[in-house]
């Protein structure tokens, strides 16, 4: 399945992202379920969570070189 690329990403509370895709659709994505995974634990810090950035090419959002979420995940499980 080909997913639209990410144009923008911003936080709207301490656990939710608002993602805009290149097909002009916007989706919210709740990261709360990911916080069970050790890799995503730093996102519990609200200040760190707000540092979200779109990866070059729009293939993911990331916070550092170890924490990212793909456009497929965001598109498929966003609401």
pLDDT, one tens digit for every residue, the chain (79 residues):
689 999 999 999 999 999 999 999 999 999 999 999 999 999 999 999 999 999 999 999 999 999 999 999 999 999 9
Given a contact cutoff of 8 angstroms between Cβ atoms, the answer to whether 75 and 3 are in contact is: yes
Residue 1 confidence (pLDDT): 66
Domains, in order of start, for the chain: 6-77 (3.30.2020.10)
Residue 20 confidence (pLDDT): 98
- Listing DSSP states for 9-65 in one string gives EEESSSSEEEEEETTS-EEEEE-GGGGGSGGGGGGGSHHHHTT-EEPGGGSEEESSS
Strand partners, 9: 19
Diameter of the chain measured on Cα atoms = 34
Instruction: Give the pTM.
Output: 0.93
């Amino acid at each position: 399945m080909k997913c639209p690329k990410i144009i923008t990403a911003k936080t709207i509370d301490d656990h939710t992202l608002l993602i805009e895709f290149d097909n002009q659709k916007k989706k919210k994505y709740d990261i709360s379920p990911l916080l069970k995974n050790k890799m995503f634990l730093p996102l519990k810090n609200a200040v760190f969570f707000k540092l979200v950035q779109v990866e070059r090419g729009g293939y993911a959002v990331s916070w550092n070189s170890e924490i990212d979420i793909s456009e497929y995940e965001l598109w498929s499980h966003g609401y």
